[in-house]
Amino acid sequence: MKQENKVKLIKYAVCFGVEVLIAFLVIWSKGFFTHSAAVNLQILADAFFVSGVLMTLFAGMLFVSGEGALIGIGFVLRNVVLAFLPMGRARHERYADYRARKLSEAKKRENSSIVVTGLSFLSIGVILTVIWYVKFYNV
């Protein structure tokens, strides 16, 4: 197997493991085995939905951060810290220079494994919710 395929497989496995862990924590916190089938299906739907939404939102935050949308927040926080340090204002730079430096240092990362696994868990959660609604909602 090629090295890049191994790396990609490891990324997918780690994302899948994190989502399974989140789903297990949701299932465990709601007491899965102590309820009826309808409630258990609801708990499963919630577990898959929550883990899918969290990972999809995390992938979105990584994308937004990688595009430079959060550079302004870092600039402001850096200047606040420098304002309280002795001789901190001597290291002050303009926002345009700071942004150009940060964008040149930024590495483009591929986050497709996070998006794919997040959306797959999210879709499983939606499917389980629809099944619960069709089978058990009017009971």
Q: Among candidates 105, 104, 82, 106, which has minimal Cα distance to 93? A: 82
Are 49 and 94 contained in the same domain?
no
- 130 neighbors 28 (Cβ within 8 angstroms): no
Share of the chain above pLDDT 70, in %: 99
User: How many domains are contained in the chain?
Assistant: 2
Check whether residue 89 and residue 51 sit in a common domain: no
- Token pair, residue 113, equals 């494994």
Evaluate whether 44 touches 27 at the Cβ level (below 8 Å): yes
What pLDDT score does 86 carry?
81
Joined together, the tokens standing for residue 77 give 């926080």
Between CA 126 and CA 113 the distance in angstroms is 20
Q: Is residue 87's pLDDT more than 70?
A: yes
Give the pTM.
0.80
Neighbour-count burial of 122, counting CB atoms closer than 10 A to its CB (0-12 exposed, 13-18 middle, 19+ buried): buried
Q: Which domain holds residue 94?
A: 69-105
Looking at the structure, tell me whether residues 58 and 7 fall in a common domain. yes
Higher pLDDT, 31 or 118: 118
- pLDDT per position as a tens digit, 37-72: 888 999 999 999 999 999 999 999 988 888 888 888
Judgement on whether residues 101 and 125 belong to the same structural domain of the protein: no
pLDDT band with cut points at 50, 70 and 90 for residue 139: low
Same domain, 1 and 27: yes
The phi and psi torsions of 50 (rounded to 5 degrees) equal -65, -45
* Same domain (yes/no): 33, 55: yes
What percent of the chain clears pLDDT 90, i.e. is strictly above it?
Answer: 47
- Give yes or no for residue 17 having a pLDDT over 80: yes
